């Protein structure tokens, strides 16, 4: 089984992906980390983030061992990743890697922005996670401060809104819910409630129950 989880920045999809993978004993891939790794490689090389050809080369040479680097979670790399991920050639370079991961046994949970629409359009379960921008900004600010980073919630909110606009309107795999995706609004849900709601969706699909 493949579970595809999509949604905008700081919507909680990463946490849901990890928890669902643990619950079902599936493998998990935070696809955002892949693009962040490419962005970090571009920053480390002093390259222009708009240089699509250079970004595609670095994407093709990406080492999965780099995905655990805590620097990938920083605001600077996240902003750079939003730019790099808009390049067609970068997305093409990373497509095979993601699909191969999804196809492996015993099952996989992938979270990102185009899993249900582009990477795994045939995924058995598709969940599109949303949350109010102000809620997302508050959560992201708390995460950043917990990592020891300075964070102004107003600045974080402005960045989230900017990234939402860029993700929705980019030419390459824009952020949108797949037609057969289940919408999960976790604006008012704590982590446990959100996970329970996601598990309920998966179980409804596995049981063949009709959509509400």
- Domain range enclosing 161: 2-205
On whether residue 38 sits in a domain, the answer given is yes
- Per-residue model confidence (pLDDT) at position 58: 95
Quote the CA–CA distance of 161 and 163 in Å, as a whole number.
Answer: 5
Cα-based distances in Å from 58 to 62, 95, 116, 142, 205 = 6, 14, 25, 32, 38
Quote the CA–CA distance of 154 and 126 in Å, as a whole number.
Answer: 32
Q: Note the pTM of the prediction, 2 decimals.
A: 0.86
Please, are residues 128 and 183 in contact by the beta-carbon 8 Å criterion? yes
Chain-centre distance for alpha carbon 163: 13
On whether residue 211 sits in a domain, the answer given is no
On whether residue 188 sits in a domain, the answer given is yes
On whether residue 198 sits in a domain, the answer given is yes
Give pLDDT tens digits along the chain (212 positions).
999 999 998 899 999 999 999 999 999 999 989 999 999 999 999 999 999 999 999 999 988 888 889 899 888 898 899 899 889 999 999 998 899 999 999 999 999 999 999 999 999 999 999 999 999 999 999 988 998 888 999 999 999 998 888 888 887 778 899 999 999 999 999 999 999 999 999 999 999 877 66
On whether residue 185 sits in a domain, the answer given is yes
Consecutive H or E run containing 111: strand 108-112
* Buried residues in 29-52 as b, exposed as e (16+ CB within 10 A): bbbbbbbbbbbbbbbeeeeebeee
On whether residue 118 sits in a domain, the answer given is yes
Please, are residues 144 and 159 in contact by the beta-carbon 8 Å criterion? no
Helices (H) and strands (E) in the chain, counts: 8, 5
CATH of the domain at 130: 3.40.50.300
On whether residue 182 sits in a domain, the answer given is yes
**Taking the CA of residue 64 as centre, how many other CA atoms within 13 Å lie in the half-sphere pointing to its CB?**
7
User: Among 187, 184, 180, which Cα is nearest to 200's?
Assistant: 184
Please, are residues 27 and 101 in contact by the beta-carbon 8 Å criterion? yes
Count how many domains the chain has. Answer: 1
């Amino acid at each position: 089984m493949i579970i595809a989880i999509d949604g905008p920045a700081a919507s909680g999809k990463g946490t849901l992906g990890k928890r669902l993978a643990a619950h079902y004993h599936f493998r998990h891939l935070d696809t955002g980390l892949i693009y962040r790794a490419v962005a970090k490689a571009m920053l480390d090389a002093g390259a222009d983030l708009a240089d699509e050809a250079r970004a595609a080369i670095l994407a093709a040479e990406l080492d999965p061992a780099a995905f655990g680097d805590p620097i990938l979670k920083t605001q600077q790399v996240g902003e750079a990743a939003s730019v790099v991920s808009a390049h067609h050639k970068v997305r093409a370079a990373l497509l095979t890697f993601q699909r191969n991961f999804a196809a492996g046994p015993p099952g996989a949970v992938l979270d990102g922005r185009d899993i249900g629409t582009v990477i795994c359009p045939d995924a058995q379960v598709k969940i599109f996670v949303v949350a109010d921008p102000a809620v997302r900004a508050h959560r992201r600010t708390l995460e950043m401060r917990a990592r020891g980073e300075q964070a102004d919630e107003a600045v974080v909110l402005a960045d989230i809104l900017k990234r939402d606009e860029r993700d929705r309107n980019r030419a390459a795999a824009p952020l949108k819910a797949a037609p057969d995706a289940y919408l999960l609004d976790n604006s008012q849900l704590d982590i446990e409630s959100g996970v329970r709601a996601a598990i309920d969706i998966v179980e409804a699909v596995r049981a063949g129950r009709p959509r509400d």
